């Protein structure tokens, strides 16, 4: 048996491979074992999993691993193993990866639309701004965010979101990728996307929040490396292309932009992540807004909110 582990102080995940001997030979079996730090988190993940477990019935191109075993006593969940490759390791064109990620997210979100409650986002931003302890900067950023609050209020973007939709929580089917590598193009080969870790699933949130989460870290890294966000902009375009394709396939008569008549709010959510990131740096490292590292993040934050590139 072999095992690798990853996780945080709140949960530990083990990717386990073990062998079985039978009359027809030896078989390798993969499972994912997750231990939660407390019963509340354990029960929450079980509930959340049940809400999206059948997403493949909406769109066969996305799959949520089944729960094989659960123990409240040990706060342990065992998921079926996945024959899949990570976002980084999958040998696919980067544009195709983003397109597939957009398709999977659309299936999770579904086609139902509803008015969005904006107050939780306002409260979060006000708290983060208070950490800056720079009244002039706080006022400037808040003024730049006001149009996005209004856009959310006029939208019907409320839906159930994954809550932690990032590259690390997606895997691509190894078998499907093998077909692409042998010469089949992505159009004629349906590459299944596995979506894992539904622990942070949330109801009645802005569907663009998941998109912002997906691209926030890559956006920060690109800006730190090159001073540009051009590549992130192109990636989001591919992602939305995939998202809209599946919205239509599963029965929607609207594109993502139709749900947001006053403009998409992806910029707001990426900017909010940047704001969270820089406030975390301020609190953990006792920095100020005059520190070079923080000034760089503030610059990116202003570019996103002023230019609305996404």
Copy the structure tokens of residue 75. 């706060």
SS3 105: helix
Mean pLDDT score of the chain: 90
CATH number belonging to domain 83-116+155-264: 1.10.510.10
Q: Which residues pair with 213 in a beta bridge?
A: none
Residue 162 burial (C-beta neighbours within 10 Å; 0-12, 13-18, 19+): buried
Q: Backbone phi, then psi, for 243, in 5-degree steps?
A: -60, -50
pLDDT on residue 79: 92
Domain-wise residue ranges, the chain = 83-116+155-264
pLDDT on residue 190: 79
pLDDT on residue 247: 97
Gap between the Cα atoms of 55 and 44, Å rounded: 18
pLDDT on residue 20: 65
Copy the structure tokens of residue 111. 């086609």
pLDDT on residue 182: 66
Q: How many residues does the chain have?
A: 310
Gap between the Cα atoms of 272 and 305, Å rounded: 10
Contact call for residues 14 and 5 (beta carbons, < 8 A): yes
Task: Please report which helix (H) or strand (E) contains residue 269, including its range.
Answer: helix 266-285
Copy the structure tokens of residue 201. 């699933």
| pTM > 0.85: yes or no | yes
Q: Which residue has the tokens 């540009």?
A: 228
Query: Average pLDDT of each block of 10 consecutive residues along the chain (310 residues)?
Result: 47 70 68 88 94 95 95 93 87 92 97 97 97 96 97 97 95 86 58 93 97 97 96 97 97 97 98 97 93 94 95
End-to-end CA distance of the chain: 46
pLDDT on residue 3: 45
CA distances 27 to 15, 18, 19, 21, 250, Å, are 17, 8, 5, 6, 37
């Amino acid at each position: 048996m072999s095992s690798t582990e990853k996780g945080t102080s709140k949960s530990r995940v083990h990717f386990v491979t073990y062998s079985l001997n039978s009359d027809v030979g030896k078989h390798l079996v993969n499972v994912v074992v997750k231990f939660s730090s407390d019963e509340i988190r354990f029960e929450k993940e079980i509930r959340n999993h049940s809400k999206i477990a059948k997403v493949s019935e909406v769109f066969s191109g996305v799959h949520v691993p089944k729960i094989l075993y659960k123990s409240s006593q040990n706060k342990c969940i065992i998921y079926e193993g996945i024959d899949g490759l990570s976002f980084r390791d999958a040998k696919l064109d980067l544009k195709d990866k983003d397109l597939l990620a957009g398709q999977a997210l659309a299936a999770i979100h579904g086609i139902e639309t509803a008015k969005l409650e904006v107050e939780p986002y306002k409260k979060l931003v006000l708290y983060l701004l208070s950490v800056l302890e720079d009244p002039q900067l706080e006022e400037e950023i808040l003024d730049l965010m006001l149009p996005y609050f209004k856009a959310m209020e006029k939208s019907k973007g409320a839906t159930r979101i994954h809550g932690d939709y990032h590259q690390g929580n997606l895997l691509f089917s190894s078998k499907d990728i093998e077909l692409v590598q042998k010469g089949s193009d992505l159009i004629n080969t349906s590459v299944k996307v596995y979506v894992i870790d539904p622990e942070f699933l949330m109801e009645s949130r802005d569907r663009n929040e998941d998109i912002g989460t997906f691209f926030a870290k890559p956006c920060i890294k690109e800006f730190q490396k090159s001073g540009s966000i051009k590549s992130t902009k192109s990636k989001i375009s591919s992602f939305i292309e995939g998202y809209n394709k599946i919205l239509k396939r599963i029965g929607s008569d609207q594109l993502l932009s139709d749900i947001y008549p006053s403009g998409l709010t992806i910029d707001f959510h990426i900017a909010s992540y940047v704001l969270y990131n820089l406030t975390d740096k301020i609190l953990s490292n006792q920095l100020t807004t005059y520190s070079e590292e923080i000034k760089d993040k503030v610059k990116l934050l202003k570019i996103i909110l002023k230019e609305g590139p996404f």
